[in-house]
A and B are shown apart, each in its own frame.
Chain A
Amino acid sequence: MAKKILIVDDDASIRDYLTTLFEDNGYAARSAGSGADALKMLEQDAPDLITLDIEMPEMTGPWFSRTVAKGGTYDRIPVIVITGHAGLQYVIPKAVASLTKPFDQAELLRIVRETIGQ
């Protein structure tokens, strides 16, 4: 069964880009445009990996991850941070990787493969 990736980013073009990228590489991808939407999706169906933007208007990446952490499921899902701001690479505890936009697509795929396999 295909591994599931949840994309969390308020930028629609990024969401579309990543969805296409992951699906083209054999992953099942869903996306959420806000932290609130992402929380709902997590409840319905836990993904194997989350890619997380930091600066989002209504709920920041860190706030989302703190909320999720309270639920307990969080520890088990690896997170890859994808942010436009170099200074914010390390603000998500337990993140396995951090990429700044614009990022190298091959690099991202390699990290995903290392983290959850094919």
Chain B
Amino acid sequence: MFGKILFATSASPACDSAARVAFDMARKYGSQITVFHVLGIPGKGDSTRVVDVRTGEEVDADQEYIEGVHEELRTTYAKQLAEFPSAKLEVAVGVPFREVLREARKDDVDLIVLGASTRQEGGYYKRGIVGGTLHKIAKNARCPVLTVDRPAASFWGGFSNVLFATDFSKASDSAFQFAQSVARQVGGEMHILNVLELAKIGQVAALTQEGIEAKLMEARRKIRAVYGQRTEGLPLTVEVWEGTPYVEITKYVREKGIDLVVMAHSTREVDPDERPFGSTMEQVIARATCPVISVNRPDKLPQAEGGEAGA
């Protein structure tokens, strides 16, 4: 499981939590890990200058500068690299999300790990709290994408309670495959949660409780109908809670001691007017006390010994 991990970092303290998760997972699952830093965005016209993503300044991305950045990376992650001498360090120049996707494709990685965007000055509730970068990577990556935004969402020792949050979309199916595959491989428990988004149905106070209960029951049945057979042999908890999706998911994680959330990322760009605080997944990343993995495609499911192979 997770044979190759690509840890894409801004090399700033904002990515410290993600670094810990990436290396903790590599240690636990024996992964080959690459620390990948995109140095800067190509600057003016056809010149060789780039805008350094950390400082926002224009620099000459010459050999010396790039080596300097390598050195900084080595220093920043000295402790982790000492434990993982086989870890690779790569620096690229370009538009960050594009270079991460390029590297992931080139190396055919099994998991991309991202930290918080460093460009978060300007308030927590700015649209795209984890940056447009997350959306573009999660949307286009062939493999799952794990995002760690803050220390409280760390890898605590294992993935024993896996939560698959579903909205029954087609993309959710790949997320389900991934979640149950992980749960099986770690010998853990599977949880499936669907949230009945009350605000979408109507004025909450005007809904009858019977009406809500009926929908909850219907959803519970639907979860078992759609996913039930594929969870044979796996300890399974099914819940449907009403409310605002990201709130309910966060609560569920807290109450049930979940260590990993798996969801599908919405493929359409989230309309800022509809969701001023970003997509459900972005909110869950910001709030849950465990890592969140986005899976949109069936391509890179973890290989199990004797178990289901990836698509």
A–B: direct contact at CB < 8 Å: yes
B196: min CB distance to chain A, Å: 23
Q: How many residues of B contact A (CB 8 A)?
A: 15
Whether a CB of chain A sits under 8 angstroms from the CB of B43 is: no
Which interface residue of B17, B151, B152, B156 has the most chain A CB atoms within 10 A? B156
Interface size classification for chain A? 10 to 19
Closest to A63 in B: B157
- Let me know if B152 and A91 touch, CB within 8 A: yes
Count of chain A to chain B residue pairs whose CB atoms are closer than 8 Å in the complex: 37
- Let me know if B152 and A88 touch, CB within 8 A: yes
Whether a CB of chain A sits under 8 angstroms from the CB of B231 is: no
- Let me know if B158 and A90 touch, CB within 8 A: no
- Let me know if B254 and A93 touch, CB within 8 A: yes
Which of A59, A85, A93 lies in contact with B151, CB distance below 8 A? Answer: A85
- Measured between alpha carbons, how far is A61 from B154 in the docked complex, in Å? 12
- Let me know if A69 and B157 touch, CB within 8 A: no
A85: min CB distance to chain B, Å: 6
Closest to B254 in A: A93
- Measured between alpha carbons, how far is A69 from B259 in the docked complex, in Å? 13
Residue ranges of A at the interface with B (Cβ–Cβ < 8 Å): 59-63, 65-66, 69, 85, 87-91, 93
19 A-B pairs whose Cβ atoms sit less than 8 Å apart in the complex: A59-B157, A60-B156, A62-B157, A62-B257, A62-B259, A63-B156, A65-B257, A66-B156, A66-B259, A69-B257, A85-B151, A87-B152, A88-B152, A90-B289, A91-B154, A91-B156, A91-B289, A93-B257, A93-B289
Known: A60-B156, A69-B257. 9 other contacts (CB 8 A): A62-B157, A62-B257, A62-B259, A63-B156, A63-B158, A85-B151, A87-B150, A89-B152, A90-B152
Residue ranges of B at the interface with A (Cβ–Cβ < 8 Å): 17, 150-152, 154, 156-158, 160-161, 254-255, 257, 259, 289
